[in-house]
Amino acid sequence: MFVEKFQAGRAVFNALIGTASLALALGGLSGCGSTAKEDPNSQAALDKLYADAKDDLSSGSYDRAIKSLERIEGRAAGTTMGQQATLDVAWAYYKTNERAQAIATLDRFIKLNPSSPAMDYALYMKGLVNFNEDLGLFGRLANQDVSERDQQASREALLAFRQLVEQFPESRYAAEAVTRINFITNTLAAYEIHVARYYYNRKAYVAAANRAQSAVAEFQHAPGIEEALFIMGESYDKLGLTQLRDDARRVLDKNFPGSQYASGGSKRTKPWWQLW
């Protein structure tokens, strides 16, 4: 009786072992057929995606880089990598001449990351994008009515560079920003004077005086201010506003005694109406 029970028990045990072995074998086969998917939000996956995006930026594949960087922005929002991806997106848009997209991206960065250590770079980039938009200003004036030309891009660049210098005077970008500020200031002043001259030559004396006065008020230290004062004086003279005319001429003579525009200027070699 004991022997029979032992043999029956052994048969059941062998059956169980066989079932377990089959299950293990099937599990092993299933494991060989597939691999676990990598978490796209893992640091390793983000590092690889960012490395690929940087390679695309370096090779000039900006459209592909933008797609990768925008994915990183979403997956790494609030992190240093996410911030860097946003700045890289702006750079890629800038390199593809998508100025509006670049500015929108930078404005979003500035709004969402006010305390970011890269804020100075964001402001520098915003100034740079707007600055380059307006290069060649005077080379295009001959083919365009100057009264219709928009200087908003230059003014936006000036604001960005000024904010950079004021908030981050020790920034590595501050010195270059100052240089660009001086250039833009002189360019905008020259533009205002050009428009004032344009109006004066067309006998729009009120508009000429107002434009010249605007240049004097906003760009006091620009080289072209002496001409602005001169246009103001001549415009007021045409309008019969003798007191304003005399005031403008007095300021001109005092600040630019050797100017060709001053009434006693030693550099004047021809009558004032032939100076243009």
Measured CA to CA, the distance from residue 105 to residue 121 in angstroms comes to: 13
- Quick check: is 101 in a domain? no
- Quick check: is 49 in a domain? yes
pLDDT in tens, 165-190: 999 999 999 999 999 999 999 989 99
- Quick check: is 103 in a domain? no
Helix 62-75 to helix 43-59 angle (10° resolution) is: 160
**Residue 108 near residue 100, CB atoms below 8 Å:** no
- Quick check: is 69 in a domain? yes
- Quick check: is 204 in a domain? no
Nearest of 76, 87, 94 to residue 117 by alpha carbon: 87
Containing structural domain, residue 83: 41-96
For the record, the structure tokens of 137 come out as 């200003």
- Quick check: is 141 in a domain? no
DSSP 8-state assignment for residue 231: H
Nearest of 131, 134, 128 to residue 173 by alpha carbon: 128
- Quick check: is 91 in a domain? yes
- Quick check: is 13 in a domain? no
pLDDT in tens, 70-120: 999 988 888 999 999 999 999 999 999 999 999 999 999 999 999 999 999
Measured CA to CA, the distance from residue 229 to residue 214 in angstroms comes to: 10
Domain count, the chain: 1
pLDDT in tens, 195-240: 999 999 999 999 999 999 999 999 988 988 999 999 999 999 999 9
Measured CA to CA, the distance from residue 276 to residue 270 in angstroms comes to: 10
pLDDT in tens, 229-240: 999 999 999 999
DSSP 8-state assignment for residue 114: T
